[in-house]
Amino acid sequence: MKLTITIGLLLIGHLTFGQDRIQKIDSLLNSLYSKEKINGNFLIAEKGKVIYSHSFGLANETTKEKLNENSIFELASCSKQFTAMGIMILKEKGKLNLDDDIEKYLPELSFYKGVTVRNLLNHTGGLPDYMQLMDSLFDKSKIATNKDIINIFSKHQPKILFEPNTKWEYSNTGYALLASIIEKVSGLTYADYLNTAIFQPLKMKNTFVYTRRLSPKKIDNYAFGYVYSDSLKKYVLPDELKETKMVIWLDGIVGDGTVNSNVKDLLIWDRALYTNKLLTKEGMKEVFELVTLKDGAKRNYGFGWGIEENADFGKIANHNGGWPGYVTFIDRHITNDKTIIILQNHNNVTIPSKAIRNILYNKPLPVQKIRKEVIITTEELQKFVGTYQVEKDFEIKISLDKDQLFSQLTGQNVFPIFVESEMLFFYKVVDAQIQFEKNEKGEISSLFLLQNGNKIEAKRTK
């Protein structure tokens, strides 16, 4: 359900531009697959026409069933675009107003004054993270639902993080609450409402809301999500590992995740977003408008979509998703009508979207920057060792073995990091850096993971 931080190896230097674009993409992906850096389905289209579609790897590690173009994946945070569309359909039918306070629909949360439906849609509500709260307060022998989130928030009334619309901060809580608002207003379950309002009208026959542990059922062509176990040296279901067991007790939460689909249905979805089948022209425009904060500042997010104005590729709407076992990505190039859909069912994978973009536009492939390594003493390296918390269930561990520093992100492999300057380290396997920060006492107190223009902060806890 969360945005994914992906550290993956991207070796593409052997590709030459004498090849056809499709051959280049295929060569790139096969190279990554041979190095176990992808495992999933890739579909690329131009003006709705599929120009590349390929499956890499297994749908089921036990039966050895291979993935195919009909394989169904959990979408993780790519589900948010459907939740947002559900809200917008209700808005256009006059069932709700985006500027209504959420207490109108969720009176149990009336203590959150001034938080609107719009704030939930564009991540400006300032609500605390429900996963962190429930990790300490929820009975994990049970499976949580959205009602449990509301009940715990109502009982404990955790403080708002910031005044609504003064900051932008990605919020799974907001989208879980949007699902509850959909249920309150429509009188249907979230799953039935999306099916009635979106999936059936668009004939997305392989798309549905699925809570696999809460309400298991047999689904043909299902791609089970796997995480790599360093101790077992193999891929296993996240249910089997202590650090990823949240997939069980959080399985009943909908709205920020739990939509399941395949690449073919997601292309149908992509095509519908160029039409007015679901919303008016004005409504569709609003979905893809940038957030405007109270001080007039813009943020690159709309309703369930990240929005990018790219000098080379035009306007792009995209979103990625990550949940133990799944890494997903949908990239819609609105100006030039190109679509990249990536659904993967391994956790330790890369999303080679930049390389695919460049190939599609006949641009040079991105080249990893050459960074100069600096040598410092083992005693100096020891200062950085510790655990740095991004979110309750996501952390970065920095360890030292002899005179080499290592970094490990939750659910991913251990990678060495190298000194670039006193407080700046870099990876050699991917173009990413770690910038450490000191507090007023001169102690290492936090770090920032820098990758693909993103800056992810992690606070030191140990």
Classified as helix, coil or strand, 330 is: strand
Q: Is 77 a catalytic residue?
A: yes
Distance CA 81, CA 291 (A): 15
- Contact criterion met (CB below 8 Å) for 433 and 427: yes
3-state helix, strand, coil in the chain (%, to 5): 25, 30, 45
Q: What distance lies between CA 325 and its chain's CA centroid?
A: 12
- Contact criterion met (CB below 8 Å) for 124 and 112: no
10 Å Cβ neighbour count for 428? 15
Q: Which is nearest to 299 in space by CA: 78, 119, 36?
A: 119
Q: b/e for 144-159, b at 16 or more Cβ within 10 A?
A: bbbebbbebbeeeebe
Q: Which is nearest to 254 in space by CA: 169, 195, 342, 327?
A: 195
Distance CA 122, CA 81 (A): 11
Distance CA 308, CA 303 (A): 13
**How far lies 368's CA from each of 354, 406, 428, in Å?**
12, 20, 9
List the helix and strand counts (H, then E) for the chain. Answer: 12, 21
Cα Rg of the chain, angstroms: 22
- Contact criterion met (CB below 8 Å) for 146 and 408: no
Catalytic annotation, pick one of 77, 186, 261, 407: 77
Distance CA 40, CA 76 (A): 15
Q: What distance lies between CA 400 and its chain's CA centroid?
A: 30
Catalytic residues, by residue number, are: 77
